């Protein structure tokens, strides 16, 4: 009987980080260190320039000594001896300057080599799988219903399952998972049948079943690799020949949005108007309130986002009873007279493809990913305007899921940058890799390994000095609630789980996380800060007659 292989510790935990936590980017990330190398090379070049100036001054001094030798022959030899090391020795300014320039070139070349290596590794297999998926998905989409059926079978296989065709109990064909082979999800001894047959293919007991090579849910990394191919399939399934694009995700979102608009026109009630108004509770005095309290960390920001969600009576875990379509805006007045704004944005609250009154719905997801804005974005911008946010006043944006896309989109929009000064962004469970934040805007992106939503843009968030991404395996958390949330992508996506993750990261000693929280703390102020809280509700309305 062979003994099982030893269980090795996961390689992606950073030193001092809680179990199952990996941090990329930010002040302590590789990209930041490469920037330090580049800055060091520039400093060496500046030092060499200064030494070259000194060498020129030495030559001027030498000429002065030679001019004075005729009338001061006694002192000339001593002056020449004193200048000799500065003119020709290994420690002369000109020689040292040449060494520094050579060292600067070597440091700069090292930084470029590291950057090129990182880019090559990042591209690697993932890039090949992505490109193959886009090409194949586009071809199958253009092929019509037969291509769609083939794509479905391939998608199940590539998501970490094997598709098995059985006739009369005999296995006729099993399609292994190519993406599963890449990710190491197949080849295990405990492959199991999952969920039974999917449907009848023909009379006589023919059926399709799944055999999985791992957990019951596909690996999120496989979902991320497959997303561009699925997007290409959706985009190419639209009428007309679609040109190849390297990133089909925005185009697929626009295609889905068109379908949603048609469906709304057929079975719904189109509501092209949008009204945003302050929320006044029946049990509270009119005007601004004083709750929630001043946030002091990213975890506090996410708890504020959680409080905005409505919830059905039978499942209060989904939220704390907020009014649908609500955005939170806090005004923080500091003792020194400065002011900071905090904007909390919830995620998707309605999942119907038919657009309804609530702007935080599936159609807004299509608009945001497709790059066309949408009503959720308009609601937040209008709420900021009504609250009185002025240009030059720092704004902290925090959002969960769709709300994180809204927050990142506001920070990245050059037109909105003229109206709002975004100073920090916090996202949780958000696909934000396709949104390029401007330099100097720090961002913290929290992602749970079982959560598929952050992978739905088909790429990993870039690791830059300004963007810190924290990936967390909830199954390895000591909190039983996190372990329970790890059981499904839906519970792993919960904003309450993300708030607990942010709490776990407090004071862990990671340079990237700590640097972001320190920046956030300076923006949020201290106990002397006066807090004014407001809530605004966005509602879609029919067009005026």
Cα angle 116, 118, 123 (rounded to 5 degrees) comes to 95
User: Rounded CA gap, 466 and 514, in Å?
Assistant: 13
Whether cis (ω within 30° of 0) applies to the bond prior to 244 is no
User: Rounded CA gap, 316 and 314, in Å?
Assistant: 6
Count of CB atoms situated within 10 Å of the CB of 200: 11
Task: Write down the domain spans for the chain.
Answer: 30-117, 145-251, 274-281+293-313+320-541
Question: Strand (E) positions, 296-382?
Answer: 326-333, 339-345
Cβ–Cβ under 8 Å, residues 428 and 485: no
Q: How far is CA 249 from CA 149, 219, 419, 455, in A?
A: 20, 20, 29, 11
pLDDT score, position 151: 66
DSSP code per residue over 57-108 = HHHHHHHHHHHHHTT-TTTHHHHHHHHHHHHHSTTSHHHHHHHHHHHHHHHH
- Please indicate, yes or no, whether the overall pTM of this predicted structure exceeds 0.75: no
φ and ψ at residue 530, rounded to 5 degrees: -90, 130
Give kind and range of the element (H or E) at residue 468. strand 467-472
pLDDT score, position 4: 39
Give kind and range of the element (H or E) at residue 181. helix 178-183
Question: Strand (E) positions, 265-305?
Answer: 273-278
pLDDT score, position 402: 96
Question: pLDDT in tens for each of the 545 residues of the chain?
Answer: 434 333 333 444 455 677 788 888 876 665 545 666 777 778 888 888 988 888 888 788 778 877 777 777 777 787 777 777 777 777 777 888 887 888 888 777 777 766 666 655 555 555 666 676 677 666 776 667 776 677 677 666 655 544 444 444 444 444 444 444 333 333 333 333 333 333 333 333 333 343 433 446 777 777 777 787 777 777 777 776 777 777 888 888 888 888 888 998 898 888 888 999 998 755 444 444 446 789 999 999 999 999 999 876 545 555 566 789 999 999 999 999 999 999 999 999 999 999 999 999 999 999 999 988 899 999 999 999 999 999 999 999 999 999 999 999 999 999 999 999 999 999 999 998 889 999 999 999 999 988 999 988 888 887 788 999 999 999 988 999 999 999 888 899 999 999 999 999 887 888 889 999 999 999 999 999 999 999 999 999 987 54
Crossing angle of helices 375-387 and 402-412, in 10° steps, is 60
User: Rounded CA gap, 461 and 465, in Å?
Assistant: 12
Cβ–Cβ under 8 Å, residues 470 and 25: no
């Amino acid at each position: 009987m062979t003994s099982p292989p030893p269980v090795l510790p996961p390689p992606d935990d950073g030193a001092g980080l809680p179990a199952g936590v990996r941090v990329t980017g930010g002040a302590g990330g590789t990209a930041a260190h490469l920037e330090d190398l580049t800055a060091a090379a520039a400093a060496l070049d500046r030092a060499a320039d200064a030494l070259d100036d000194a060498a020129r001054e030495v030559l001027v001094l030498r000429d002065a000594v030679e001019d004075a030798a005729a009338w001061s022959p006694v002192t000339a030899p001593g002056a020449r001896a004193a200048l000799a090391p500065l003119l020709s020795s290994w420690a002369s300014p000109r020689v040292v300057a040449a060494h520094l320039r050579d060292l600067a070139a070597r440091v700069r070349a090292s930084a470029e080599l590291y950057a090129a290596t990182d880019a090559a590794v990042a591209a690697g297999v993932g890039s090949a799988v992505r490109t193959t998926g886009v090409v194949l998905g586009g071809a199958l989409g253009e092929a019509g219903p037969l291509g769609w059926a083939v794509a479905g079978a391939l998608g199940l296989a590539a998501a970490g399952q094997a598709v098995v065709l059985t006739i009369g109990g005999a296995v006729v064909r099993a399609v292994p998972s190519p993406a599963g082979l890449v990710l190491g999800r197949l080849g295990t001894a405990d492959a199991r049948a999952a969920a039974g047959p999917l449907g009848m293919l023909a009379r006589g007991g023919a059926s399709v079943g799944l055999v999985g090579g791992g957990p019951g849910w596909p690996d999120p990394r496989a979902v991320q690799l497959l997303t561009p191919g699925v997007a290409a399939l959706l985009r190419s399934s639209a009428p007309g020949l679609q040109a190849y694009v390297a990133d089909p995700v925005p185009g697929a979102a626009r295609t889905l949005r068109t379908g949603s608009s048609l469906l709304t026109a057929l079975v719904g009630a189109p509501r092209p108007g949008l009204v945003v108004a302050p929320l006044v509770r029946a049990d509270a005095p009119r005007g601004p309130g004083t709750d929630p309290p001043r946030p002091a960390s990213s975890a506090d920001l996410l708890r504020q986002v959680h409080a905005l969600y409505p919830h059905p009576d039978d499942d209060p875990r989904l939220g704390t009873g907020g009014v649908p379509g609500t955005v939170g805006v806090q005004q923080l007045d500091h003792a020194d007279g400065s002011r900071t704004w905090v904007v909390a944005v919830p995620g998707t609250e309605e999942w119907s493809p038919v657009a309804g009154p609530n702007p935080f719905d599936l159609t807004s997801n299509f608009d945001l990913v497709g790059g066309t804005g949408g009503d959720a974005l308009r609601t937040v911008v209008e709420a900021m305007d009504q609250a009185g946010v002025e240009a030059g006043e720092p704004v902290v944006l925090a959002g969960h899921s769709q709300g994180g896309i809204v927050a990142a989109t506001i920070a990245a929009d050059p037109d909105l940058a003229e109206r709002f000064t975004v100073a920090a962004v916090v996202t949780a469970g958000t696909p934000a890799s396709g949104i390029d934040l401007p330099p100097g805007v720090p961002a913290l992106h929290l992602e749970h390994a079982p959560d598929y939503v952050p992978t739905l843009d088909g790429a990993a968030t870039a690791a830059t000095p300004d963007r810190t991404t924290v990936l967390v395996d909830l199954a390895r958390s000591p909190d039983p609630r996190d372990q329970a949330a790890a059981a499904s992508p839906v519970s792993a996506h919960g904003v309450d789980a993300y708030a607990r993750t942010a709490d776990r990261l407090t004071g862990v000693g990671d340079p990237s996380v700590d640097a972001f929280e320190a920046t956030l703390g300076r923006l949020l102020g201290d106990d002397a800060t006066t807090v004014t809280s407001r809530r605004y509700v966005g509602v879609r309305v029919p067009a005026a007659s």
